[in-house]
Amino acid sequence: MHTVFSDGSVWPDIRVIEAWQEGLDALVISDHIEYLPHKSDMIINHNRPFEIAQPIAKNYGMILIRGAELTRSNPPGHLNAVFITDVTEMDTSDYTVALMKAKEQGGFIFMNHPFWKSPKYPVVNGKVDWFKEHEELYKLGLINGIEIVNDREYYKEGYRWAIEKNLVKMGNSDIHHPTNMYFDFSKDDHRAMTLVFAKEKTLESIKEALFENRTVVYYSDKLLGDEKFLREIFNKSITISKKFYKQSKGTKFFIQVENNSDVTYTLLTSGKVEGFNLPSEVILHKNRTIMMELTPQSKEMVGIFKVKLPFIVSNLLINHEDTLPVEFEIEVELE
Amino acid sequence: MHTVFSDGSVWPDIRVIEAWQEGLDALVISDHIEYLPHKSDMIINHNRPFEIAQPIAKNYGMILIRGAELTRSNPPGHLNAVFITDVTEMDTSDYTVALMKAKEQGGFIFMNHPFWKSPKYPVVNGKVDWFKEHEELYKLGLINGIEIVNDREYYKEGYRWAIEKNLVKMGNSDIHHPTNMYFDFSKDDHRAMTLVFAKEKTLESIKEALFENRTVVYYSDKLLGDEKFLREIFNKSITISKKFYKQSKGTKFFIQVENNSDVTYTLLTSGKVEGFNLPSEVILHKNRTIMMELTPQSKEMVGIFKVKLPFIVSNLLINHEDTLPVEFEIEVELE
Amino acid sequence: MHTVFSDGSVWPDIRVIEAWQEGLDALVISDHIEYLPHKSDMIINHNRPFEIAQPIAKNYGMILIRGAELTRSNPPGHLNAVFITDVTEMDTSDYTVALMKAKEQGGFIFMNHPFWKSPKYPVVNGKVDWFKEHEELYKLGLINGIEIVNDREYYKEGYRWAIEKNLVKMGNSDIHHPTNMYFDFSKDDHRAMTLVFAKEKTLESIKEALFENRTVVYYSDKLLGDEKFLREIFNKSITISKKFYKQSKGTKFFIQVENNSDVTYTLLTSGKVEGFNLPSEVILHKNRTIMMELTPQSKEMVGIFKVKLPFIVSNLLINHEDTLPVEFEIEVELE
Amino acid sequence: MHTVFSDGSVWPDIRVIEAWQEGLDALVISDHIEYLPHKSDMIINHNRPFEIAQPIAKNYGMILIRGAELTRSNPPGHLNAVFITDVTEMDTSDYTVALMKAKEQGGFIFMNHPFWKSPKYPVVNGKVDWFKEHEELYKLGLINGIEIVNDREYYKEGYRWAIEKNLVKMGNSDIHHPTNMYFDFSKDDHRAMTLVFAKEKTLESIKEALFENRTVVYYSDKLLGDEKFLREIFNKSITISKKFYKQSKGTKFFIQVENNSDVTYTLLTSGKVEGFNLPSEVILHKNRTIMMELTPQSKEMVGIFKVKLPFIVSNLLINHEDTLPVEFEIEVELE
């Protein structure tokens, strides 16, 4: 996120307040080090955005993380260093030196918007790969993560890189204006964000979780991340109120499915269920309960049936190609 | 609630579906017995609304309660009998007999909209009282409760009667059209309803709770009921995230207050807090967290202070005259 | 639209009131003649829905059109007759006779949901065609129009038939429940409807326009109809506030485009503009003004340029295959 | 409005963009001259906010007016000078000199938030009056207007002063954060603003209208201004679709009233209408059409009646004490 201290249009306090209003727990302000269009009106000090925002963050109970955006042409492009302690040390001409300084400070470094205005990446074995400059930084331990989402852009190839190269998956807003100028909050719109599976709500715990690659990216209506995390989120979100149904034979019945999360899930039926017709698509609206209609295929079926409903959740992407498979299990007695 | 079987404009199924959509657990359809404007187009059978709606209710997991509205001029006016088993028995000319039939069936009986188009009630000792006809029914055990809210109307005198005569407080929608024609659900509008403190989500448990006078009425932005129930609702709704604050002396700080309910509470400060300025009004928006600003009155105060913030909740009416007092307690260390 | 007099769930008055609330000028209630699931509770008279709704319509200033739905298996399937004067005459076993009665009454007849649960239509010259039963009715002048949209379903082949056979294009809601149970009006949702290009707001004028094939179908975010009508609607909706721009060379500028209609238009750029970069997609939100960014491709260009911006409006379907082409013309002086 | 150049939290471009988004035609940025909390991070130049915002305003077709806020303790308090050409000239210790500089530049000067944290104003003949310092400035022609509304505060005494001293009535937002942090635009909330009755949409024409005292203040749900302007706004907003009604005697009928404006008007009945019952309150929702119910008091009345419905519009304040009276006229034939 940017402020007037680089090319943003808000004072640092706004970044904290709007993040709190939108329900975030933690945020990074990461102004450009090298791109300073307001410098004729500002006395630039790269540590000031953090210093100004910090007391506001304390009052709002927000975790504010110091960060900065190293801003070079690609390669290596833009890289964010976060959890650093002094941005000014990174203000140096050699980008490798700058990132080493960040690393020495305990920084976590990731590539920003790898496919934004990018030059042609090399193709290796028929697949797009990053530049040798990235490979060199990576070998030096100077790339820990990668944005697979920036603002409203999703980088499918970036998601593949993240998996293949074991990079932490990041999704960020990269906002310059006040967030309400990009997002219509009255219409379920929201900024891109990285969900971090931290053990505690502390800066240290978030840092640990990032270095241990425990993130999920949330943007638009989609969640992107490892299957175990997405399954955990889905299972915590969804409740089937009633597992056993007693019905007159041949009659339709409703499975009541509660979604207690702020994410709408779209289920696509991924297989058949012997003896029952089920809908091909089910939308589990955020914070809502819906009725999923099930009909026995024959009016003659009687007895107790264990029914397993197979779906994929089309907006949960467990890698750059696949979506999360889930199964609902109920029992029906037709009499 | 009414259907086409008396003077309503919907088939009974709609009453179930809209109640489910609005998040209710239980409902009564209580068509008029005597007022039947559609009778030239309908084959009237007072039990049909229940019979038609019952399978829909089963599918939606809703508790449907059989009811009927005895419809006479006032006195005795309109009275609802609910939890009855056969409405047709009540279709008789003598209203006392009709209510006795309801009682025999296990019915719970309450006065509807006691001040709607009512004739002049008698005044006893300077206060409005009900008619002797009501007193007679009451003595026969044929009035268990009273609507203190009907649709958007609140009857302050009815609330007083409920307390003085130990009547169960009811608040009902009395809808005739589809609910969306009365309520703008996109603007936090909702129907009047009776919250019943039942031990289980069953018809029997609701019935028990009603006869034992465990209700709260919810209408507009207000809750009306016994202090113990309102306090319980408020306490379950509100969480203060942080109880201890460490601050530089003289600086303002924010108490973060979460409202996890669907009711917006309006707090009015009801006293002073030594040493601190607090806002005169705090609105705890439904399903939102707000920041309550507190400022030490002097920049010289240091040390640890236990602060008790006294409020009344202006939309929680513990009787016809008073609102619920509450207190928030936090600790501040100024250094 | 249906009421309790066939398989609907509302009394006829609701159809009028909800149509008024949603901004319609005219409506047809067209209950099934043959499908009467409520007949054990209702005294069925096919003319009653109109008779009951008529005084309500008068009070609301709505034009109420008498109609009925002939309900047979396909072929011929379901057909609506509207502008009729006595529905009971159509209640006869031979469907051709029934439709002739409708025609004699001045009725306008159209096929309902031609592809809903339909048997396999014949294929002629590689294209789906209707049944010979339809052809026979058509030759007798007993099919004037066809639903190319029913509820949320669009029939692409039906649109083709409409053009090839010169049938009036209809789009209808076919509602059974209160409309708010299908449509989320707080989210720009709306019922399918037929826009009729009548000269006056009278029943006679609507009837004339229908027989003269002057309709546009509106459903979801789409308008379907003859190019001349869609162009007229688009041109009446859209205003470009400023036609001449004076700019420093090389700088971007904004074309301000007002959409004064209730329809959101999606423009896709359908060609290049020499010397200028333009966005590939522009969304003209309903009742909003947007800024369309234009940038000169070279910083050296000076002089006056007439710029024609070519688009197709992707949600305006002038036939079953094509969308409406439009062009914006402005002038820029770069200096 | 404020920016980071004084105590605001946004870069000047945001003020233009958000004003455009909210539908304004013109705006003033008026940073404090003397109150500069960001001065350790900014290179302060009082003309920069205007210079930075001007090209943005040009692109958005917005009229940007240069302004500044003279910021002294009260008296004289804060005063805005607008339509000035060089703010730096006003940066001088003597406030009278500063305002004279503004006047020489053609500036229009008004008192800001006259009752915000104000010391005790003198009381003259039982009425609150301003300070002699104000009187002196006024006599020198250095006070042209007064804020009767600032943000969400309305100054009733200020409105009285405006009328008694012939000061131009101003209502302003005084925003420091992005506007969406103060206003919930999804709930019909909006900033306070001054509506200027200019002949053309140009800076010169707005300036002329201000000096000629042609303004209305719009805040919350209220409009405040001279009766002639408020009546003009109301008449342009409201249309009665039908002036003549033909009815069966004794039956109720609906007068359809369209409100084509963005302001909701609340009508209170201010008199009786012989022979007809009318509602005591009518709310004309913004951009909506409503039905106003009228019922003949007797079922025997027949003939043609000219009915004049008398109201006051309770949210249109023609002075500090009175609201706008209006009258609707229709004709009814009862037969």
Q: What would the pLDDT profile of A208-231 be if each residue is shown by its tens digit?
A: 999 999 999 999 999 999 999 999
Q: Which residues of A touch D52 (CB under 8 A)?
A: 41
Q: Are residues D333 and D245 in contact, defined by beta-carbon separation less than 8 angstroms?
A: yes
CB contact under 8 A, D61 and C242: yes
pLDDT value at residue D118: 78
DSSP at D186: G
Distance CA A130, CA A132 (A): 7
pLDDT of residue C17: 97
Residue D330, min C-alpha distance to chain A (Å): 41
* Greater model confidence, C272 or B111: B111
For residues D287-293, average pLDDT = 94
Residues D59, C241: C-beta atoms closer than 8 Å: no
Q: What is the pLDDT of residue A76?
A: 97
State the pLDDT confidence band at D117, using cuts at 50, 70 and 90. Answer: confident
Which residue from D minimizes the CA distance to C60?
D254
Q: Is D47 on the interface with A (CB under 8 A)?
A: no
Identify the pLDDT of residue B117.
86
Nearest to A43 among D8, D13, D42 (CB): D42
Q: Give the distance, in angstroms, between the CA of residue D148 and the centroid of all CA atoms in the same chain.
A: 9
Q: Could you tell me if C168 and C210 are in contact, meaning their C-beta atoms sit under 8 angstroms apart? A: yes
CB contact, 8 Å: D196 with chain A? no
The answer to whether the CB of C159 falls within 8 A of the CB of C148 is: yes
Q: CA-CA distance, A255 to C177, in Å (whole number)?
A: 21
pLDDT range class, residue B230, cuts 50, 70, 90: very high
- The verdict on A127 touching B (C-beta cutoff 8 Å) is no
Dump pLDDT digits (tens) for A102-121.
999 999 999 999 999 878 99
pLDDT at B187 over 90: no
pLDDT at B297: 92
Q: How many CB atoms lie within 10 A of CB A126?
A: 5
The pLDDT confidence band at residue D149, using thresholds 50, 70 and 90, is very high
Residue from B1, B6, B9, B18 whose CB has the most chain C CBs within 10 Å, to mutate:
B9
CB-nearest to D253 from C59, C252, C254 is C59
Tell me which of A152-166, D236-250, D318-332 is least confident. D236-250
Residues on chain A touching B241 (C-beta within 8 angstroms):
61
CA distance C334 to chain B (A): 48
**pLDDT tens digit string along A161-195?**
999 999 999 999 999 999 999 998 888 899 999 99
Quote the radius of gyration of chain D (alpha carbons, Å).
Answer: 24
Average pLDDT taken over every residue of chain A = 96
* pLDDT reported for residue A232: 98
Tokens of A264: 């709408």
The model's pTM: 0.94
Predicted local distance difference test score (pLDDT) of residue B72: 97
pLDDT at C210 over 90: yes
> What separation in angstroms does the CA of B47 have from each of B91, C107, C293?
11, 40, 66
Please tell me which residue of chain A has the smallest CA distance to D14.
Answer: A9
What is the band of C118 on the pLDDT scale with cuts at 50, 70, 90?
Answer: confident
Q: What is the pLDDT of residue A241?
A: 86
Contact B42 C40 (CB under 8 A): no
**Most confident range, picked from B136-150, C272-286, D265-279:** B136-150
Question: How far apart are the CA of B156 and the nearest CA of chain A, in angstroms?
Answer: 35
- Using the Cβ of A192 and the Cβ atoms of chain D, whether some distance falls under 8 Å is answered with no
Interface check D176 vs A, CB under 8 A? no
Cα D84 to chain centroid distance, Å, stands at 22
What is the pLDDT confidence band of residue B101, given thresholds at 50, 70 and 90? very high
Distances (CA, A) of C53 to C48, D257, D291: 8, 22, 17
**Predicted local distance difference test score (pLDDT) of residue C169:** 98
pLDDT at residue A142 in the model: 98
Q: SS3 for D89?
A: helix
The whole-number pLDDT of residue D216 equals: 98
pLDDT, residue A311, reads 97
Using pLDDT thresholds of 50, 70 and 90, give the confidence band for residue B148: very high
C21 touching B (Cβ < 8 Å): yes
D188 pLDDT more than 90 = no
Instruction: Count Cβ–Cβ pairs < 8 Å, chain C vs chain D.
Output: 22
**D242 → closest Cβ in C61, C241, C252:** C61
Confidence of residue C155 (pLDDT cuts 50, 70, 90): very high
pLDDT of residue C187: 84
pLDDT of residue C1: 98
Answer whether A8 touches D (CB < 8 Å).
Answer: yes
In b/e form, how buried is each residue of D267-291, taking b as 16+ CB within 10 angstroms?
A: beeeeeeeebebeeebebeeeebeb
Judged against a pLDDT cut of 90, whether residue B23 lies above it is answered with yes
Q: What is the pLDDT of residues D22-79, one digit of tens each?
A: 999 999 999 999 999 999 999 999 999 999 999 999 999 999 999 999 999 999 999 9
pLDDT at D241: 86
C-alpha distance from A35 to closest chain B C-alpha (Å): 35
Asked if the Cβ–Cβ distance from D254 to C59 is below 8 Å, we say: yes
Within an 8 Å CB–CB cutoff, is residue A60 touching chain B?
yes
Is the confidence at residue D84, as pLDDT, over 90?
A: yes
Give yes or no for D18 touching A (CB within 8 A): yes
pLDDT category at C288 given cuts 50, 70, 90 is very high
pLDDT of amino acid A188: 84
Q: Is the pLDDT at B26 greater than 90, yes or no?
A: yes
Q: If you ran DSSP here, which 8-state letter would residue D185 be given?
A: G
Chains that touch D (3 or more CB pairs under 8 A): A, C
B254 close contact with C: CB closer than 8 A: no
DSSP code of C277?
Answer: E
> With bands split at pLDDT 50, 70 and 90, how would you rate the model's confidence at C46?
very high
Segment D103-107 shows an average pLDDT of 98
Q: Which residue of A has its CA nearest to D21?
A: A181
pLDDT computed for residue D278 by the predictor: 87
Q: Which amino acid is present at C310?
A: P
CA C270, C275, C277, C283 torsion-angle sign: negative
Contact B60 A291 (CB under 8 A): yes
User: What's the rounded mean pLDDT across residues C199-207?
Assistant: 98
Supply the pLDDT for residue B188.
84
* Subunit contact C4:B8, Cβ cutoff 8 A: no
Q: Do residues B218 and B230 make contact, with C-beta atoms less than 8 angstroms apart?
A: no
Residues of chain D with Cβ-Cβ distance to C59 below 8 Å are 252-254, 291
Label the pairing between strands A323-334 and A244-247: parallel
Residue A24 backbone dihedrals phi, psi, to 5 degrees? -75, 160
pLDDT tens across C132-154, in order?
999 999 999 999 999 999 999 99
Query: Which chain B residue has the Cα nearest residue C186?
Result: B186
Given the structure tokens 């019935």, which residue do they identify? B207
Mean pLDDT rounded to a whole number for chain B: 96
Computed over every residue of chain C, the mean pLDDT equals 96
B119 confidence band (pLDDT: 50, 70, 90): confident
Q: Would the CB atoms of C52 and B40 count as touching at under 8 Å? A: no
Q: Residue B300, class by beta-carbon neighbours within 10 Å (0-12 exposed, 13-18 middle, 19+ buried)? A: exposed
B185 touches chain A (CB under 8 A): no
The pLDDT value given to residue C66? 98
Please judge whether C291 and D60 are an interchain contact, meaning their C-beta atoms are less than 8 angstroms apart. Answer: yes
Q: How far is A218 from chain D (nearest CA, A)?
A: 23
- Tokens standing for residue B291: 């920041």
Determine the average pLDDT of the residues in B108-128.
94
Mean pLDDT of D177-187: 91
Interface contact flag, A253 B61, Cβ < 8 Å: no
